[in-house]
Amino acid sequence: MAPSDQPAPTTPAPPATTAAVTKRSTAVRARALTKTYGRGEATVRALDAVDVDFEAGAFTAIMGPSGSGKSTLMHLLAGLDAATSGSAYLGGTEVTRLTDKELTLLRRERVGFVFQSFNLLPMFTAEQNITLPVELANGTVDRAWLEILVDTLGLGQRLTHRPSELSGGQQQRVAIARALITKPEVVFADEPTGNLDSRSGAEVLSFLRRSVRELGRTIVMVTHDPSAAAYADRVVLLADGRVAGDIQDPTPEAALAGLDALRSLDDAAVVAR
């Protein structure tokens, strides 16, 4: 066969680089998630058919006025409370279908929590508090990861101190390290700066953001404070138990404007009633 008769070499197809490949996966999802309290006339719809996705590797704030359903949403997503209807998912797991025993395991192994009150054990040192979730699960502490967390959170000099010897901001940073030590799929933070002065609060928020940007963690934070929400990559706004807005890369001004818009909607609703 003459060379010219040879079939042209086939060019391999270029690798698929579609948006589907580069898009981050969803860590947490709600579908028609609903929670009501009470019955009949006294029914309160704390959460009203909420559909929302939280990306893996992102820092998302849930913001809204008091009573808008922020805590309820977080509690249902984390399996701390049962939904009235609808579904919540963590990765591929439908949290709303799990038994109590499965929920306990899910919360221990796949979710981290940071609360407004730091909830550290007073008789333990900072390091013992951080590694407690691993000890409770009979695991082995990943020392390299512990070191990274301690470095990122600026806790190096404080590991042998007990909580009473630490400032509020330092205690909350210990609580963040404790939430991250098991490398959970998501950390839920409920008003994490609520008990802190503005300077310590800003520090804690910067550390939360670093855990996402530098350590690749996923954080969903509930807050009513626009300046706290502005540390996040995205703000999901809630009003009356529904998603009422979504702000990407929020500035404090944008977060405040979003919250103000919800408040004026509320005021208009009161006038209309």
Residue choice 60, 71, 211, 218 for contact with ligand ADP (CB under 6 A): 71
Nearer Cβ to ligand ADP, position 75 or 158? 75
Give residues 12-51 in contact with ligand ADP (rule: CB under 6 A). Answer: 37, 44, 46
Write down the least CB distance from residue 191 to ligand ADP, Å: 9
Question: Does residue number 64 form part of the binding site for ligand ADP (CB under 6 A)?
Answer: yes
Q: Which tokens belong to 207?
A: 């550390």
CB of 227 to ligand ADP, least distance (A): 18
Interface with ligand ADP, residue 223, by CB under 6 A: no
Residue for token pair 């040192």: 125
Q: Which amino acid is at 46?
A: A
For 89, phi then psi, to 5°, come to -125, 140
Tell whether residue 112 is a contact of ligand ADP (CB under 6 A).
no
Q: What letter represents residue 177's amino acid?
A: A
Residue 194 in the binding site for ligand ADP (CB under 6 A): no
CB atoms within 10 A of CB 99: 8
Find the binder of ligand ADP among 34, 60, 72, 182 (CB under 6 A). 72
Helix (H) or strand (E) holding 243: strand 242-248
Q: Taking CB under 6 A as the rule, does residue 164 contact ligand ADP? A: no
Q: Which of residues 174-193 bind ligand ADP (CB under 6 A)?
A: none
Selected from 54, 69, 79, 149, the binder of ligand ADP by CB under 6 A is 69
Using the minimum distance from each CB to ligand ADP, give the nearer residue, 218 or 223.
Answer: 223
Distance in Å, CB of 200 to ligand ADP, minimum? 22
Number of residues counted as binding ligand ADP (CB under 6 A): 11
Of the CA atoms within 13 Å of residue 50, those in its CB half-sphere come to: 37
Is the alpha carbon torsion for 219, 223, 228, 232 positive or negative? positive
Taking CB under 6 A as the binding criterion, the range among 69-77, 159-167, 200-208, 252-260 that sits at the site for ligand ADP is 69-77
Residue 128, φ and ψ in degrees, nearest 5: -65, -40
Q: Helix (H, G, I), strand (E, B), or coil: what is residue 246?
A: strand
Among 55, 56, 67, 161, contact with ligand ADP (rule: CB under 6 A): 67
Q: 71 near 77, Cβ under 8 Å?
A: no
Q: Which CB atom, from 72 or from 218, has the smaller least distance to ligand ADP?
A: 72
Write a three-state SS string for 6-67.
Answer: CCCCCCCCCCCCCHHHHCCCEEEEEEEEEEEECCHHHCEEEEEEEEEEEECCCEEEEECCCC
CA distance 185 to 26: 10
Shortest Å distance, C-beta 78 to ligand ADP: 13
Nearest residue (CB) to ligand ADP, 47 versus 90: 47
C-beta closer to ligand ADP: residue 36 or 152: 36
Contact residues toward ligand ADP (CB under 6 A) are 37, 44, 46, 64, 66-72
